Structure 1
Amino acid sequence: MNPKQQKIYTDVNNYFNNILRLKNSDEFQKYLEFLKRVPFQAPFNNTLVFVQNPSLNYYATEAQWKEFGRTIKPNARPEVILMIFGPVEFVFGLEDTEGREITSDSILNWWKESDGKFDENVFHNTVSSCAKIGLSVKIPEPSKYFNQASSIQTKGLAGIETSEIYLNPSYKGNPTYESYGVLLHEIAHELLGHCGERKYKDKKGNTKLLIHNRSNLTKDIAEIEAELTAWIVFGKFGIEKQSEVYLANYVMGKMSAEMFDMVLITKVSGMIFSMSKKDWKPRIPTQREKLRDNLRKNIKILKNHLAKVRANNYE
């Protein structure tokens, strides 16, 4: 991670640290509501934009606003998001654009990832993706499950040494919203490092670090991180898991001086959402691929800049 990225991550976590320190549940609720309004962007970028401008309702790139027949106002102040393996990109809020009138509903419907209906393939694809990073998802017989679970009420377990996730035997059969939510919660525990360091082997047999050990967190912090992660992923599908008011109050009520890692939560949320795709691969790009992608993005930025210069010269 380069120094600029590190500063961004630190600033984001400091922002939420202040919210928690002041027990500002209203501000945290406002953040959760913002995440629901912009499911078309990566969770981390949503968080980054909110930290820059909490009063923003929606945001998009200049090209995306053109899809709505709107252009960027002169002297509009952009917000910054991070591109994957590339430079930053500028985005603008609805109030920074002008043109064809649009409603809030049309924005949400245009960019929604799904229609809010649960697709069983999402569950099965996620289970298959878990296997690619060395995690095994099982729904065992009751006798085996309850030897490990402390209570019949326990809906799922994430193994600390076994790299296994167990779901309650009652979830046998067709996947449901509830079983998928439990699966998300347990995967989050694994990918957030609550069960210890996680590694996986790539196609060449090389060992890759997935997450460092964070098993020293208190149970309350670990549960909040996992629940927030599951909530964000559900929101990406347009599914209502819990109200923002309930979740914000729950987080504020459980928090102590210890801080959860909001940056990691949003990154893991994005990863788990991607794991629902059929052909997902846990792949770390090579240096050559990073340089190639950087070059392409910089060329695109340069072309856009030159086009604006030419347009201004003709006016």
Structure 2
Amino acid sequence: MQTEWEQKDLFESEAARSLLDQLLSDSRLYTRTKDYKELLDFVVRLRNFAPFNAMLLQVQKPGLSYAASTWDWRERFGRTPKEGARPLLILWPFGPVALVYDVMDTEGKELPQDVSAFFAQGSIDENRIASFVPQMAKKNIECCWLDTGDQKAGAIRILERETKDKEPTFYRMNINRNHGAAVQFATLAHELGHLFLGHLGSDPFLSVPKRAAMKHAQIELEAESVAFLVCARNGVKSKSETYLSTYVTDNTTVNDVDLYQIMRAAGQVEALLGLSAHTKYDRPAGKSR
């Protein structure tokens, strides 16, 4: 099972970035707006994998509906890979890779009528929002509940930036206390997206990368992409989907957004809030539990 930060640490290497860049270049995928939105929808649907791994699966097998490890197919669904089934590769902590299988390459018990609901999380309520506060505090993000009007959802800013390497930077997250829990969750996802995308600057303590300056439009598109993924993967419908549909024009290509950073940031937001789904695997021979 992936621990909170193991999921994030999977992708903290130039090798992972190079792998993604090569896959995108060679496959010539996601050069159109429609393809990009379909990718986001796929990552939402495959809730049992970290966003980055879900994207790797979609790149390897476009049109894939659902995938799972041999352990999950056996223990959770009563199914096994078919003889000669072609496995798909993902990154994992015991690495360097793990094998998973497309649902069409398995056999056994009948699947639930709506297999996607198996991985879906319920709606977010006030108690769940409250549970995120100590989670963020552990990473030096202070929550401040503001009594403001409907047009002010929230924002994140730096309170104190440390100058020493690997020392923490302190942040303040402002949230409109008058909004409902679903809106507050979308706000958290969007603002934390800005943080982990490096829009506030680098933070070695949180493994936030240093990135080149971007236009406001690109910054908001990336943050809304993260918010859409985190919300939809956790049972919250937000305005992000409408925003993306109207904001992303036909001229948008993969060069206008950094897919690597978006998937990485979405996984980090989920890990920080304790929302990470866990796919289980059979340990490699010789590995102790």
Query: What residue number does 1:217 align with?
Result: 214
**Aligned equivalents of 1:44, 1:141: Cα separation in 2:** 36
- Deviation at residue 90 of structure 1 after TM alignment: 0.7
* Structure 1 pair 97–256 and aligned structure 2 pair: CA distance change class (3 A): closer
Confirm whether residue 46 of structure 1 aligns to residue 43 of structure 2.
no
- Alignment counterpart, residue 194 of structure 1, candidates 191, 199, 204: 199
Distance 1:243 1:186 in 2: 13
Q: 1:12 and 1:186 mapped to 2: Cα distance? A: 29
Mapped to 1, the partners of 2:142 and 2:198 lie a distance apart of: 16
Pair 85,30 (structure 1): closer, same or farther in 2 beyond 3 Å: same
RMSD, aligned CA: 3.3
Report Cα offsets for 1:256-305 as digits up to 9, x if no partner: 78532212222221221222239x9xxxxxxxxxxxxxxx943268xxxx
SS in structure 1 of the partner of residue 98 of structure 2: strand
Equivalent residue, structure 1, for 2:18: 7
Q: Is the 8 A contact 2:202 2:211 kept in 1?
A: yes
Q: For 1:271, which of 268, 272, 275 is the aligned residue?
A: 268
Aligned to 1:293: none
Provide the residue aligned with 1:312 in structure 2. Answer: none
Aligned to 2:126: 120
Deviation by residue 1:27-74 (Cα, 9 ceiling, x = unmatched): 223222322322122111111100111111111111211232222112
Aligned to 2:105: 96
SS at match of 2:143: strand
Q: Helix, strand or coil: the match of 1:226?
A: helix
Higher RCO by CA contacts (8 Å cutoff, separation 6 or greater): 2
Aligned to 2:119: 111
Q: Which has the larger radius of gyration?
A: 1
- Give the Cα–Cα distance (whole angstroms) in 2 for the partners of residues 34 and 92 of structure 1: 16
Corresponding pairs, count: 261
Cα 1:209–1:276 change in 2 (3 A) is closer
1:76 aligns with 2:85: yes
User: How high is the sequence identity, in percent, across the aligned residues?
Assistant: 27
* Cα 1:261–1:12 shift into 2, 3 Å: farther
Matched to 1:71, the amino acid is T
Residue ranges of structure 2 left out of the alignment (5+ in a row)? 1-11, 161-170, 277-281
Moved beyond 6 Å, runs of 4+:
none
C-alpha contact 1:17 1:259 (8 A) present in aligned 2? no
- Unaligned segments of structure 1, at least 5 residues: 147-151, 200-207, 281-295, 302-315
Query: Could you tell me which amino acid in structure 2 is paired with residue 158 of structure 1?
Result: I
TM-score normalized by structure 1?
A: 0.71
Match of 1:233 among 208, 230, 239: 230
Give the counterpart of 2:140 among 134, 138, 152.
134
Choose between structure 1 and 2: higher helix proportion: 1
